Structure 1
Amino acid sequence: MIAALVGVMLWQLLVRQPVIEVRVAGADGTSDQVCYFSQPNFQLRWMHSVEKQWWEEQYQRQRDGLLLTTTYFEAFGAGTPSTETLAPIQKPGYLGYQINEKLPSLNWVVSRLTKGEIDYDNYRILIHRWVPDYSEVTIIPKAYGFIDRFQKDLCHELPSDGSR
């Protein structure tokens, strides 16, 4: 019985779970704010600063990075991709393009004006309320061990206003 218990404990310590880590560099040398989620698919959503229309990017976690699969937007303007293939699934009120671009990680600057959010598995994280304006958010696929998961918070368990 003890050997089985030790075996289970060792297995838990050695098994690594693939996650998406969301990290915000601490201002003025303070420690970083970090959370994670284990779902492989997520969406970034924000209000375009010029067009004042919603933009959405859909991503998938992969072994060696992230895959930007599709982009959706409500208005067509400067900087809008126009040479890509239309997304196979179109959303009402949006124009969507299939992108399929691999990225090792994402660096995303958010502010209250652009109302940035991270959506995954029926959770909507209002990242623009969680971090100070113009914070750089790094989103990167990682693998967490059992202990790592206890030392970090699930993103949807953090308060939206950034308080702890």
Structure 2
Amino acid sequence: MTRRRLLTGVGGAAAVVITAPSALAGLTACGSERQLICRHQRTQEVYASWPVETGAVVTHSWVHSIERSRWTDSYRVEADGLLLVRTEFQEYGAGMPLDEGVVTLEDGRVVITEIDRPFEAIRWIHSHRVDYRIGIDENTDLLDPLQLPDNEPVELRPA
């Protein structure tokens, strides 16, 4: 189903402008375990790290400030970086691309799959007000979001 077709069947969608920060990339030396690193974008201060393998799914989610519902981006760790493979949200609105991936409705939520867009790192300005969540595979709550600095640029990347 195309986004245009989905939009004609989904009434009452709030107008939203979103720029979803997204991505991961990098490998460590051969024989070393890869880590997903959560760090400050400018100072490189590391806040947390977790083991991650190629093929793992990294999720980054938050409560949208206008919709007041959870938005989740999912990335697959590839040998040469991260690939945005899925995004899920409650309402479809302004600012969303109309020509990327496959759009479906699942349990009343808009789900876009087969996006397959590579990223270097998942980047965002962290806020204590939007309940950010970081996950790897089935563990979707790896870090207390209040442990990260408020209103500071943060990123996730494998190393």
When normalised by structure 2's length, the TM-score is: 0.67
Whole-angstrom distance in 2 between the partners of 1:32 and 1:22:
6
- Aligned partner letter, 2:95: G
- SS of residue matched to 2:108: coil
Q: Which residue matches 1:136? A: 153
Q: CA RMSD in A?
A: 2.6
- Aligned partner letter, 2:116: N
- Aligned partner letter, 2:47: Q
- Aligned partner letter, 2:150: D
Question: Structure 1: which 5+ runs fail to align?
Answer: 1-13, 143-164
The answer to whether the 8 Å contact 2:63/2:132 transfers is yes
Counterpart check, 1:121 vs 2:142: no
Q: How many residues align?
A: 127
When normalised by structure 1's length, the TM-score is: 0.65
Question: Structure 2: which 5+ runs fail to align?
Answer: 1-29
Whole-angstrom distance in 1 between the partners of 2:109 and 2:100:
15
The answer to whether the 8 Å contact 1:23/1:137 transfers is yes
The answer to whether the 8 Å contact 2:52/2:158 transfers is no
Q: Once superposed, which parts of structure 1, at least 4 consecutive aligned residues long, lie more than 6 Å away?
A: none
Percent identical residues: 24
- SS of residue matched to 2:48: strand
Bigger mean CA offset, 58-67 vs 36-45: 36-45
Residue 50 (structure 2) aligned to one of 28, 36, 39: 36
Residue 112 (structure 1) aligned to one of 123, 128, 131: 128
- Aligned partner letter, 1:68: L
Counterpart check, 1:95 vs 2:130: no
Distance 1:52 1:126, change over 3 A: farther
Whole-angstrom distance in 1 between the partners of 2:67 and 2:59:
20
